[in-house]
Amino acid sequence: MITIKEIAKQLNMSTTTVSNVIHGKAGEVSGDTRKKVEEFLKKVDYVPNISARNLAQNQSKIIGLALKARADKYENLLMDPFVSVLIGGVEETIRNAGYFMMLYISSDTGEIMRHVSTWNVDGLILFGMLDDDGIRVSEKYKKPIVCIDTYSIEGLKHFTNVGLDDEQGAYDIVNYLISQGHRKIAFLSDNTKGVDLARLTGYKQALKDAGISYSEKDFLKIRPKSDEIDKSLDEICKRASDYTAIFCVSDLYAVTLLSRFEDRGISVPDDISVVGFDDNMLAQLHRPALTTVHQDVKLKGVTAADTLLKQLSGKKTPNQIKLPTHLVIRDTVRRID
Amino acid sequence: MITIKEIAKQLNMSTTTVSNVIHGKAGEVSGDTRKKVEEFLKKVDYVPNISARNLAQNQSKIIGLALKARADKYENLLMDPFVSVLIGGVEETIRNAGYFMMLYISSDTGEIMRHVSTWNVDGLILFGMLDDDGIRVSEKYKKPIVCIDTYSIEGLKHFTNVGLDDEQGAYDIVNYLISQGHRKIAFLSDNTKGVDLARLTGYKQALKDAGISYSEKDFLKIRPKSDEIDKSLDEICKRASDYTAIFCVSDLYAVTLLSRFEDRGISVPDDISVVGFDDNMLAQLHRPALTTVHQDVKLKGVTAADTLLKQLSGKKTPNQIKLPTHLVIRDTVRRID
DNA sequence: GGCGGTTACTTTTGCGCATAAGTTGTACGC
DNA sequence: GCGTACAACTTATGCGCAAAAGTAACCGCC
- pLDDT tens series, chain B, 337 aa: 899 999 999 999 999 999 999 998 766 788 889 999 999 999 998 999 999 999 999 999 999 998 876 544 445 545 566 788 888 899 999 999 989 999 888 877 778 888 888 888 999 999 876 667 777 767 777 788 999 998 877 777 778 999 999 999 999 999 999 999 999 999 999 999 889 999 999 999 999 999 999 999 999 999 988 888 899 999 999 999 999 999 999 999 999 999 999 999 999 999 999 999 999 889 999 999 999 999 999 999 999 999 999 999 888 999 899 999 999 999 999 999 8
**Taking the model in full, what pTM does it have?**
0.89
Contact (CB<8Å) A105/B118: no
Say yes or no to pLDDT of A299 above 70.
yes
Cβ contacts of A60 on chain B, cutoff 8 Å: 51
CB B259 within 8 A of CB B236: no
Closest alpha carbon to A127 in A73, A86, A92, A164: A86
- The separation, in Å, between residue B120 CA and nucleotide C27 C1' comes to 47
Determine which helix (DSSP H) or strand (DSSP E) holds A64, and give its type and residue range: strand A62-67
Q: pLDDT value at position A25?
A: 79
Number of A–B residue contacts, CB under 8 Å: 143
CB-strand contact A96/C, under 7 Å: no
Q: CA-CA distance, B269 to B267, in Å (whole number)? A: 6
pLDDT category of residue A71 using cuts at 50, 70 and 90: very low
Cβ contacts of B91 on chain A, cutoff 8 Å: 103-105
Mean pLDDT, rounded, for A260-274: 95
Three-state DSSP state, A43: helix
DSSP labels, A265-328 = T--TTTT-EEE-SB--HHHHHSSSPPBEEE--HHHHHHHHHHHHHHHHTT----SEEEE--EEE
pLDDT category of residue A69 using cuts at 50, 70 and 90: low
Torsions phi, psi of A142, nearest 5?
-80, 65
* Residues 165-204 of B with CB within 7 A of strand C: none
Q: pLDDT value at position A196?
A: 94
Residue of B nearest to A142 (CA): B1
Cβ contacts of A115 on chain B, cutoff 8 Å: 100
Q: CA-CA distance, B280 to B292, in Å (whole number)? A: 9
Burial track A159-197 (b if 16+ CB lie within 10 A, e otherwise): bbbbbbbbbbbbbbbbbbbbebebeebbbbbbeeebbbb
CB B286 within 8 A of CB B255: yes
- The separation, in Å, between residue B16 CA and nucleotide D19 C1' comes to 9
CB B122 within 8 A of CB B309: no
Residue of B nearest to A60 (CA): B51
SS3 content of chain B, % helix, strand, coil (to 5): 50, 15, 35
Q: What is the pLDDT of residues A129-176, one digit of tens each?
A: 666 777 776 777 778 899 999 887 777 777 899 999 999 999 999 999
Q: CA-CA distance, A4 to B201, in Å (whole number)? A: 52
State how beta strands A219-221 and A273-275 pair. unpaired
Residue of A nearest to B61 (CA): A119
Q: Which residue's CA is nearest to the C1' of nucleotide D13?
A: A56
Cβ contacts of A289 on chain B, cutoff 8 Å: 259
Cβ contacts of A259 on chain B, cutoff 8 Å: 285-287, 289
Q: Which amino acid is at A248?
A: C
Strand order in the sheet with A273-275: A219-221, A185-189, A245-248, A273-275
Determine which helix (DSSP H) or strand (DSSP E) holds A225, and give its type and residue range: none
Cβ contacts of A92 on chain B, cutoff 8 Å: 105
pLDDT category of residue A293 using cuts at 50, 70 and 90: very high
Across the interface, which of A256, A263, A285 has its CB nearest the CB of B282?
A285
Which comes out higher in pLDDT, residue B176 or A128?
A: B176
Residue of A nearest to B289 (CA): A259
Residue of B nearest to A47 (CA): B118
- The separation, in Å, between residue A30 CA and nucleotide D5 C1' comes to 18
Q: Pick the residue of B57, B84, B137, B267 with the most A CBs within 10 A to test the interface with A by mutation.
A: B84
Name the H helices within B181-296: 194-209, 229-239, 251-263, 281-285
DSSP for residue B242: G
CB B112 within 8 A of CB B66: yes
DSSP for residue A227: T
Which comes out higher in pLDDT, residue A88 or A243?
A: A243
Closest alpha carbon to A147 in A112, A118, A173, A117: A112
Q: Pick the residue of B44, B51, B65 with the most A CBs within 10 A to test the interface with A by mutation.
A: B51
Residue of A nearest to B92 (CA): A105
Q: CA-CA distance, A109 to A239, in Å (whole number)? A: 38
Q: Pick the residue of B45, B139, B285 with the most A CBs within 10 A to test the interface with A by mutation.
A: B285
Contact (CB<8Å) B259/A114: no
Cβ contacts of B101 on chain A, cutoff 8 Å: 102-104
Q: CA-CA distance, A273 to B174, in Å (whole number)? A: 38
Chain D: bases < 7 Å from a protein Cβ: 7-12, 14-21
Q: CA-CA distance, B254 to B188, in Å (whole number)? A: 9
Q: Cα–Cα distances in Å, from A35 out to A1, A12, A30?
A: 22, 14, 9
CB A308 within 8 A of CB A250: no
- The separation, in Å, between residue B230 CA and nucleotide D27 C1' comes to 87
Q: Cα–Cα distances in Å, from B28 out to B5, B7, B53, B133?
A: 19, 18, 20, 49
The alpha-carbon gap from A293 to the nearest alpha carbon of chain B, in Å, equals 19
Cβ contacts of B47 on chain A, cutoff 8 Å: 114, 117-118
Q: Which residues, listed in sequence order, are joined to residue B323 by a DSSP beta bridge?
A: B164
Closest alpha carbon to A93 in A244, A298, A302: A302
Contact (CB<8Å) B50/A87: no
* Residues 10-49 of A with CB within 7 A of strand C: 15-16, 19-20, 22-23, 48-49
Q: CA-CA distance, B16 to B22, in Å (whole number)? A: 10
Q: Would you call the peptide bond into B81 cis, given omega within 30 degrees of 0 as the criterion? A: no
* Residues 22-81 of B with CB within 7 A of strand C: 27-30, 32-33, 52, 55-56, 58
Chain C: bases < 7 Å from a protein Cβ: 7-12, 14-21
The alpha-carbon gap from B46 to the nearest alpha carbon of chain A, in Å, equals 9
Q: pLDDT value at position A139?
A: 74
Q: pLDDT value at position B70?
A: 56
Torsions phi, psi of B322, nearest 5?
-115, 115
Q: Pick the residue of A50, A96, A140, A250 with the most B CBs within 10 A to test the interface with B by mutation.
A: A50
